[in-house]
Structure 1
Amino acid sequence: MTSTLPAPGMSFALNDEQRMIVQHVREYVRAEIAPKAAAYDRSGDYPHEQLRGLAELGLLGATVPEEWDGAGLDSVTYALCLEEIAAADASVAVIVSVQNGLPEQMILRYGTDEQRHRYLRPLAAGRHIGAFCLTESSAGSDAASLRLSAARDGDHWVLNGTKAWITSGGQADTYLVMARTSGPGARGISCFIVENGAAGLSFGRPEEKLGLHASHTTTVTFEDVRVPHANMVGEEGQGLIVALASLDAGRIGIAMQALGIARAALEHATRYAAEREQFGKPLREFEGVSFKIARMAARIESARLMALKAAWLKDQGQPYSKEASIAKLLASEAAVDCARDAIQIFGGNGYSREYPVERLYRDAKVTEIYEGTSEIQQLVISRAVFAELT
């Protein structure tokens, strides 16, 4: 079996510029985003204001090269910035993660120069929001069974069908849509860029979700939507290849979102345990509390190292699919467990919306589901392990 030792030269020590970027983002989100998170959770309003602020920092096109109006950050720095955003507001973080990890990477890696000029530039600059349309009501984990169809009509394709659970549905300007252009199975799927406002394109009401209330999730319906052939990303029949290749980067993003949630839970629980007294002494002095804090910290550190390894491998141009899946699996489990333990430490107060940990618990759960469930991550990991047998 292939060695699992760290790759030669692998280091996550930040240089001065990286450290300055992450510190600046931390200060910004703590001042401008975190104080508003509870209000947005209650109202369910889409966070346009927060996204505009992050766009000014270059974080809506974080890893896109500067030549395409992105910030040109390395994956490790971007990952740490995303953790900071998620610790402030996970709803905002998932919008940023989807934008950077899916539509932008798909166009950057597989698009034409014309597509990069027309669509990638405004996405990377934060003037537009992007969405990723793969999931359908009957095609979730089994993406190859999707039914949304695309029929050729001269220089156009005509799309019909419905996508489900689309982040930023109705809010996004640019949609990367997987559609069936030929027979059954993965090879019959192609990828198209569809603009908001296209005739026949409509959106359902935002789903009433357990958490991430400010991140709108909707159905997206296509009724004879005409898309120019020039808007096909990659070759015909390569849509699922384009989508799945980009999901690896997206999974690093979701891992960092989960880590931000977990870290916020730890920070709130630690402060509460230091200040709250029972039986005449601070909660921190009870092993039942301090041991929970210790395990929370251990899980976060372990998952973060795995996520940063995946990000580092991506920067080196090396395969990182297995590492991205491990990172997402560990980080999403850490988010759910840490948020639950934080509520336990808060006791009855943790169950109240007056305190932040109940929101963190609600926001955490979906990280085990979207961009590949925990079960799918285990399938990806186990296949990689068997493939490494020598």
Structure 2
Amino acid sequence: MNPIRNVLLSAPMALLAACGGSSVGSNTPQAFHDAAPSYAALSMDQAGATDTSSPAALEIAPAALTASPAATAPSGLLLSGSGCHPHLFLRTREVVDRVNRHVYKVLRHVEAIIARNPTATTGSSEVWDHVNADGVEVRFTVTVLDVAKYGWMLELKAPAATTWDTVLSGDIDRTGATGPHQGKGSLDIDFAKLHQAYPAERADQGTLHVDFDTQAASRLLSVKAVGVAWDVRDDGLGMDAATLAALEAPRSGSYVYFREPGVGGSLKIQDQMVFACPANPTLALADVKLASRWYRTTAGDVHGRSDTVMTGGQLAAPVAKVVGVTCHDGSAETSLEAESFWLMKAEQADGTTVSGESSAHLGADPASVCDAAFGAVPTLTDATSDFAWDPSLKFDDQVPFPFPNMK
């Protein structure tokens, strides 16, 4: 996460904290503030996600996801004749950054307006209404729905418009909450409506549905994206038109994120991504399932592993899927972890290896560097130790993928 953004996002939070403690189940001004959605509470605070190396750029430049050719590797094991590295740990960072940025596109309007005084207050609701410097009118309403339960609605109106567009709606049940913005609920974001108010907005279609359960000791987010034209971040790499079109074409995906600070966490991903290996000159989108999990050891460092299976995209017979794994470690939860052992192989439908390579095979990190707590590590010889993708595993069910020491 960009440090500058952290400062910007903390400002309205600090203002709210100065107003006093949390008040659950009431219609006081503080209770309405505490019940409002917050980016800090509704983003994936994945360990080590400090945005110092711009992991989002990895999706933009798929060529960056390949290692340099390994001349020492037998050619029969190479994918498309060049060294390939799945970089799954960085893939998860790209997804976290991308989804977080799109949630922030809308929640920034909420956080900006509730830093002001409400313009209307009744016994059951508070309304904030303000015309921004750009001429867009913003209206945000928090309504008491039941004991400790509140509803939200964010509306925008372009300068020349005569009607409002509902960009965000949702609700939160704050039963048992011990701090601001804690609770369980859901929210919906409509990017087409956001585009109505801001025509320059590149994320101009699609929706996000977020189910959340944010408490003092844990954070669970289940995000479903439907037909989102993701605003891909360039970071100065200079994308050509074909790459931009491939990555900003409407895509759908599902993500389940869970973290217990000081313990560990996991992220389930079902998405469409561009992979450079095997060769992908047309930048075809592949279907991806990815499970990443990490935990804090008794020594205080963080061990993690990410597994994936890729289908479709540029794959052609006899290759039916590509299997990948990356192990990663960090000195602490807040540090950016380093990738160690990795493996990437193409398989037939029955699991027979077609081609592949790994860090161990290339004389670098051996499979033994992977923490045994995550189970067996795939091999290049056969599918015996491949990650077991349970057919019943879902990616939009609000059920986190288990990780060591999970409570």
TM-score of the superposition, structure 2-length normalised? 0.26
Higher relative contact order (CA 8 A, sep 6+): 1
Bigger radius of gyration, 1 or 2? 2
Structure with greater strand percent: 2
